[in-house]
Structure 1
Amino acid sequence: MNAIVSFCHFCELHGPNVVFCTQAFRDLPDFDALNNLDAPDIFQYQCIRNQEQRKNDDSHAWRYGRIDPDDVANTKAASGSDNCIACCSFPHNKPGYISNDDASRVSYVSSQFPLQSELYVLVRQGCIRSLSCEVCPGKEGPIYFGDEARGHVLSYTFFLRDVQARGFQRWYSILILMKDKMLLLNSWPFFVRHLRETISHLQEKASKIYSNEESKVSHRALRSAASMMDGVRKQRGQSAAGQPRSLPELVGDEKIWEYLHSSSTWLLKAGGLRLQERLVEGPQVSALIAETSDDEGINIRELSNVMGGPIFHRIVHHLLVGHQVVIRGTNRNVVSRIILSLKPLLPKQCFKAVGFSEHYIERETCNALGLSPLAKIPNGACGNAHMCVVEITANDGNQGSSWASAQLMQGNLFDSEHQLHNEKSSGDFSEVLPANFASLFNNCSFKITRESTLLPRPPQVLARIEAAVGNLTLTKAALRMYTSTIIYEWINKVKVWVHIKNRKKSSQASPERSPCQVLHPSVIFRSTSVPVLQIPSPTSLRTVGVSGSPPEAPHQDERHQLLAAIGCTEWDVPLLEFWAKNFSQG
C-alpha cells in the first residue's frame, strides 16, 4: 500500500514533531526487461538481478526499492538537529528498522523522518495540523483532513500519562498519509480498529509507569507545594519535573520502536491486501452492437450524401424511435445495401432487417424493410402511424445516364452475388463496386411518400450522428468506430432507465394495502377532513406557466430527475422506451 505511517509528538519545548515513520519501498521493473518482449517474466528477471546483487553486497539489509543516499542527506538537512530526547527515535536519520517481503519484493523501512525530502514536507505539515487544529472533540480519536496537493491524512490523536508532563499527560498522534482518498476512506474502519489496538497497548504501558511513579511519591502534591515556595519554583528548572522524556522511558519498554515498526509494517501490508482494484468488464461490445464493414453496404456518410441531409435526418429519426423504415425500389442489390447501411445506427437487439422482400412484413418482425415496388402495404399497416416509406426512382432528365437508369430499373447492375464476393478487396467497398456506382446513385432520387408524425425535436443521439457524418476529417473506419461508441453510450443509459423502472414496478407490486382490495368512491370521499380548494391568487397563477398547466405530479418529478441524471430529455424518451423494450425481450 502506497502510504506512510507516522508517529508524532507535541513537545513542550519544540511543538509538533515527527518522531517515527514507516514506509514501503518497491522495485520497479527494469526498462531493459520491459523492452525485451521475449522475456518470459519481467519480475523473474528482476528477482534474479536482486539475488545476484545481494550475493555481492550482503552488508545492506535493505533489499528492494533502495533510494539515493543524497535524498536522505537532504531530508536530514531539512529536518534540523535541534530536537530533544522526546522528539527523537534514532540518533540518526538513517533506516532504523528494515523488514523485507521477498514474496512481494517490498522493503518496509522505519526511520525518524521520511527518507525523501518531498515526502518529509507532507508528513511535517500533517503532523502540525494533527496536533494543533485538526482534532476531534475531546482531542482523542480519529479525524480526516487533506487535499490532492498535500495528501490525504487519517489522524488518530491520543494522550499518554506522564508524571513529569504538564497536566500529567503528553499528546501524541499517529498519521496515515496517502494520495488515494477513496482507498483511505474505504479502509477507515480497518485502520481505526488497528490504530486503537496499538494506542491502547501504549496507554496501558504508560499508565503502569505512571501508577508506579505516583505510588512512590505524589508528584501532584509536590507541584502544589512548589507553586507556594519561590525557592522551589526557581529550582524547578533544575529538577526532573517538566523535563522531556522519550517514549521508551515513558512506557518502560526499550523495544517500543521495534513494536511500532512491526505494527506499522503489518498495517501497510494488510491494508494493501485487503482492498485491491479490479477491472470489471461488462459484455463485449460485439454482443450489443452489430459488427459492420464497408463491404456490406455504403457507409452512413455516403448514404447521407446520396439521400440528402433532410431525408437522411427523417429516416434516422424514425429508425431510432422504433418506427418502421421501408425502402422501395426495383434493384434488389441497391435496396438491400441501403438497408444494411442503417445497421450501425441501432443496437443489435433493436435492428431487425429484411434486405429485400416481395411482400410486406409487419413492424414487429422487422423495422428496416427493403420492399419491391409491386408489393402492396396493407391499409392496416398504413394506419398504425409508425412507418416511413422511401421510394427510389431513376432520373430520366440526364441522357448521359441512360445506361445507369436502365440498369437501375432492370436490376442488372449486380446480377451476380458470387462475383461480388469474389471481387472483395481489403474491406473497401469502393473497390468492389463498379466504376459507375457513384453515377448510379447520382441518377437516383429518394422521396418519402408516407410518413408518420414525429416529435418536434429528435433524440440527442441523432445530432451527434449527424455531426460525425459532417466531420470530414473522420475516415470510414473512424466514423464506424465513433458511431459504435455513441450507440454503446446510449445503451448504458437505456440499462439505467430499465433498471430504475423495474425497481419502481417491483416496489409498486407489494403495496401496504392488498392489491385485490378496491375502495368505492363513496368510501374515499366519506372522510370529514377533505381539504377545501381555494382560488389561487394571481401571483400563484404566474408560477403555473403561460399554458396554465397544473403542477407536475410527483412521479413526473421523479422521471425528470432520472432523465437529468442520465443526461437525457423528454425528446429522448421514445428512443429509451423502444430500446428498452427490445433489450427486455432479448
Structure 2
Amino acid sequence: MGSMLISLSHFCDKHGPRILLVTQAAINGSTGDELLVPTYPTDSYCDSCLLHFPKSSASDIRSLKSNVGNQCFVSTQYSSIRYQLLTLIIRRSFSEETMIYDGMPLVFYDDTRGLNLVMGFKLNDDNARGNERRYCLIFTIDSKDHKASMELISANWSFITGGFDKMINYIRDSHRQQIQKKNDTANENGNFSLLGGTYLRGNKVKVPRNLAELTQDELLFVRLHKWNSFLLHTCMQS
C-alpha cells in the first residue's frame, strides 16, 4: 500500500488553488525530520492561503510534529517530497465539475494522482470574491494499486467521511458564531442591515482573510493536525 496523507486546500482569490496544510506520516522509526520544510519566504502567500500556527516566543512556527502511538506525524504548509502530486490533486479537485462544496464526498483515481476522497465546503464572507470562500479536505492514497486503495477506502469510508464531517462542522459553526457576534455588535451600534442580514460595510474591497481569523480560533490548524494524525494512524492500522 502506498503512502497516505490528508490535506486542506483553498481556492484563493489571488493565487488560485493552494494547499493550506498537509499532514503526512513519517517513515517507521523516523523522527519525522525528513518531512519538515525549510524556512521559506512568505511573500508569495496572502493571508487567505498562509498556514497559521500560534506564534511562539522564539519565532513563527512553520511545522507541527507529534506522535500517535509509536508513529510520528508531521503537518506543514506544503510537502517538499510530494509537492507536484498535491498540486495536481488540488487543481483537479477545484476544477471538478461535480464538486458542490456541501460536504458530499467525491472520489477520483488515476495513476498520476492516486486515489483521493475529497469533501468540499464553503464559508460566507463579504470580503471574498462572490462573497464566499471555498475549501477542500482531501484524503490521498499515493499508490498505483487501485484495488488495494479502494479496499482501504471502503473499509474506512464511514470513519474518514465522519471525521471530515466533524472538522467541517467545527469550522462552519465557529465561523457562524463569529458572524453572529459581529452582527450583534453592529445591531447594538445601529449599523444593522435588514436587507442583507449582515452589518453594513463602508469598504467593499475584497481582502484576503485567514481561516484562523474567519473562525477566531488561533489553534485551528493545531486541531487539524491532531485530527488528521488520528485519522491517518487509524487507517494505517486497518
Same fold (TM over 0.5): yes
SS at match of 1:26: coil
Contact kept, 8 Å, 1:93 with 1:113, in 2: the verdict is no
User: Aligned AA for 1:166?
Assistant: R
Q: Note the 1:191-340 alignment, pairs <5 A.
A: 191-215=160-184, 216=186, 217-218=191-192, 221=196, 239=203, 241-273=205-237, 275=238
Q: Note the 1:128-147 alignment, pairs <5 A.
A: 128-133=91-96, 135-137=98-100, 140-147=103-110
Q: 1:183 aligns with which of 144, 152, 165?
A: 152
TM-score, normalising length: structure 1: 0.34
> 1:68: Cα distance to partner?
7.9
Question: 2-side partners of 1:134 and 1:155: how far apart?
Answer: 13
Question: Deviation per CA, 1:46-69, whole angstroms, max 9, x where unpaired?
Answer: xxxxxxxxxxxxxxxxx6243287
User: Aligned AA for 2:5?
Assistant: I
> 1:257: Cα distance to partner?
0.9
> 1:138: Cα distance to partner?
6.2
Question: 2-side partners of 1:221 and 1:143: how far apart?
Answer: 33
> 1:155: Cα distance to partner?
0.5
Q: Equivalent residue for 2:15?
A: 14
SS at match of 1:109: strand
Q: 2:44 aligns with which of 79, 82, 106?
A: 82
Question: 2-side partners of 1:134 and 1:64: how far apart?
Answer: 40
Question: 1-side partners of 2:60 and 2:16: how far apart?
Answer: 19
> 1:134: Cα distance to partner?
5.2
SS at match of 1:67: helix
Q: Are residue 114 (structure 1) and residue 79 (structure 2) matched?
A: yes
**Residues 1:18 and 1:214: Cα distance change in structure 2 (over 3 Å):** same
**Residues 1:250 and 1:67: Cα distance change in structure 2 (over 3 Å):** same
TM-score, normalising length: structure 2: 0.79
Contact kept, 8 Å, 1:135 with 1:157, in 2: the verdict is no
Count of equivalent residues: 219
SS at match of 2:95: coil
User: Aligned AA for 1:113?
Assistant: Y
Q: Percent identity of the aligned residues?
A: 25
Question: 2-side partners of 1:206 and 1:84: how far apart?
Answer: 20
> 1:184: Cα distance to partner?
2.3
SS at match of 1:131: helix
Greater RCO between the two (CA within 8 Å, min separation 6)?
A: 2
> 1:202: Cα distance to partner?
0.6
- The gaps in structure 1 that reach 5 residues or longer are 29-62, 227-231, 233-238, 276-586
User: Which has the larger strand fraction?
Assistant: 2
When the two chains are superposed, the root-mean-square deviation of aligned CA atoms in Å is 3.2
Question: Deviation per CA, 1:52-107, whole angstroms, max 9, x where unpaired?
Answer: xxxxxxxxxxx6243287xx45x969xx8522011001489985211024x52x21
User: Aligned AA for 2:46?
Assistant: C
Question: Deviation per CA, 1:177-235, whole angstroms, max 9, x where unpaired?
Answer: 11234312332222111100110011000011112223314477599x99xxxxx8xxx
Question: 2-side partners of 1:189 and 1:129: how far apart?
Answer: 24
Larger radius of gyration: 1
